[in-house]
Structure 1
Amino acid sequence: MRKHTELGRNAFGRLRMLSVLIGAGEISLGGNCRLKIYGQLTCASGKRLKPQNRVFFKNKQEALGYGYRPCGRCMPKEYQDWKKE
């Protein structure tokens, strides 16, 4: 898990580092550390998060390992499966 605020000292630096990590396959999902929800990087709900609440994961297993649940908006099937458990 990587916190958004730890990717760089300013917004531009964080954006550049985020781009590099996505390109390298180190990040594929984003999440909200306050609500413990993860989802796709393209999710409209995730794009509205404050930087201090954003976290990033390499994969679904990592997010689940930290106790996060799938986003109901961008991952409806995974969310329904999670609800059934």
Structure 2
Amino acid sequence: MIRHMDLGSAPYARLRALARLMKNGTVTLAGNRPGKIYGRLDCRTGKRMKPENRVFFQSETDAVTLGYRPCAICLPREYKLWKAS
């Protein structure tokens, strides 16, 4: 798990660091720390969260291991499976 605020001291530095991590495959999913929810990087609800609450994961397994649940908006199939279990 990588915290958004740990990527740099300025917003532009964080954006460049995140783009680099996405390009090399280190980051594939984003999450909301207080809500313990993870989803796709292009999720419309995930884009609205505060940077201090945003975290990033390399895989779904990493997110689930840390106790995060799937987003109902961008991962509806995974959310239904999670809800049924």
TM range (shorter): over 0.9
SS for the counterpart of 2:21 is helix
Q: Does 1:32 align with 2:37?
A: no
Quote the offset at 1:6 in angstroms. Answer: 0.2
The one-letter code sitting in structure 2 at the alignment partner of 1:20 is R
Long gaps (5+) in structure 1? none
- The runs of at least 4 aligned residues of structure 1 exceeding 3 Å deviation read none
Counterpart residue number, 1:79: 79
User: TM-score scaled to structure 1, two decimals?
Assistant: 0.99
CA RMSD of aligned residues (A): 0.3
Query: Structure 2 stretches of 5 or more lacking a match?
Result: none
How many aligned positions are there?
A: 85
Tell me, what secondary structure is at the counterpart of 1:61?
helix
> Deviation of residue 3 (structure 1)?
0.2
So what's the TM-score if we normalise by structure 2?
A: 0.99
Query: What is the percent sequence identity of the aligned residues?
Result: 48
Who is 1:51 aligned against?
51
